[in-house]
């Protein structure tokens, strides 16, 4: 039995929806999962000692309890893998590009940015977990913005109605993505892995999350029944959660597993 823990903030909702669906469909045989969530950066207030993440704030303890179904602390060695789903992803274009501009990629600049992002509270929490137990700890971070977000639209508008520009934009964005990946790989992080965005969720440029994976996203509440407003372009839905589970290997690729057909 593989034991897997997901620890995150409001972005955990997409995974909880996907996990519930996969479990009901019998797609997680041989895999035991727990989810622990608390909003925004409140997980940073937890302590890690004696192999256990323990909340110091009552609100965080309550959040961990209801998101996990009755547990208010994370025993690190109870899991084979822990995925941290919170904090900025070092793969996000937002970290590297100014609004409305598309300068040529710079490996040295990107390395500085990647190092700064990977020193943030969530990757630091992941490293503390890794150092305190034997579980493999992976940093996922938050999803890339929807391609309907103003930041994304400002960049992608360069290609609208201009076939030649579209090809040039695709080439530039691919080059930027490749440089970002190289920059992230060059930064020591002390984790089992730092996970990029699921390719199946990205737009035709490979740049931003297709809005279909954002539309109808749910807030991290006890019943997962309250939707985010239409102008929320940062949170993703259960369909995104399914693609992330495939991306990290917990679900079989489409057409190859028990859900094929």
261, part of any domain: no
Please check whether residue 209 is in contact with residue 199, taking contact to mean a CB–CB distance below 8 angstroms: no
pLDDT band at 257 (very low <50, low <70, confident <90, very high): low
218, part of any domain: yes
109, part of any domain: yes
256, part of any domain: no
The Cα–Cα gap between 55 and 44 comes to: 9
119, part of any domain: yes
Tokens of 257: 């597993």
pLDDT band at 260 (very low <50, low <70, confident <90, very high): very low
Greater confidence (15 vs 155) lies with 15
DSSP H helical ranges for 161-218: 163-186
- Of 154, 157, 142, nearest in space to 214 by CA: 142
167, part of any domain: yes
pTM of the model: 0.95
223, part of any domain: yes
What's residue 258's pLDDT?
45
252, part of any domain: no
What's residue 256's pLDDT?
54
Tokens of 60: 């965080």
| pLDDT tens digits, one per residue of 183-234 | 999 999 999 999 999 999 999 999 999 999 999 999 999 999 999 999 999 9
Q: Which domain holds residue 220?
A: 2-247
| pLDDT tens digits, one per residue of 60-103 | 999 999 999 999 999 999 999 999 999 999 999 999 999 878 88
- Give Rg (Cα) of the chain: 19
Cβ-proximal residues to 215 (8 Å cutoff; 6+ apart), any chain:
237
Number of domains in the chain: 1
What's residue 162's pLDDT?
64
pLDDT band at 25 (very low <50, low <70, confident <90, very high): very high
What's residue 168's pLDDT?
86
What's residue 261's pLDDT?
39
pLDDT band at 157 (very low <50, low <70, confident <90, very high): confident
The Cα–Cα gap between 198 and 216 comes to: 19
DSSP 256: T
């Amino acid at each position: 039995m593989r034991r897997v823990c997901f620890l995150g903030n409001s972005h955990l909702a997409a995974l909880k929806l996907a996990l519930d669906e996969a479990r009901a469909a019998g797609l997680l045989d041989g895999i035991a999962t727990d989810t622990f969530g608390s909003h925004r950066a409140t997980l940073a207030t937890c302590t890690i000692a004696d192999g256990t993440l323990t909340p110091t704030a009552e609100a965080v303890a309550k959040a961990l309890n209801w998101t996990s179904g009755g547990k208010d602390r994370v025993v690190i060695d109870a899991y084979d893998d822990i995925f941290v789903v919170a904090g900025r992803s070092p793969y996000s274009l937002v970290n590297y590009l100014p609004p409305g501009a598309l300068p040529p990629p710079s490996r040295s600049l990107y390395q500085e940015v990647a190092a700064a992002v990977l020193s943030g509270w969530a990757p630091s929490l992941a490293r503390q977990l890794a150092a305190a137990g034997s579980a493999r700890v992976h940093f996922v971070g938050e999803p890339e913005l929807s391609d309907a977000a103003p930041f994304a639209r400002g960049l992608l508008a360069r290609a609208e109605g201009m076939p030649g520009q579209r090809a040039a934009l695709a080439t530039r964005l691919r080059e930027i993505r490749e440089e970002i990946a190289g920059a992230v790989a060059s930064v020591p992080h002390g984790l089992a892995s730092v996970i990029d965005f699921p390719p199946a969720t990205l737009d035709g440029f490979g740049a931003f999350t297709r809005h279909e994976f954002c539309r109808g996203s749910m807030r991290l509440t006890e019943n997962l029944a309250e939707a985010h407003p239409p102008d929320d372009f940062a949170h993703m839905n259960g369909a995104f959660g399914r693609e992330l589970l495939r991306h990290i290997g917990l679900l079989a690729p489409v057409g190859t597993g028990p859900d094929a057909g």
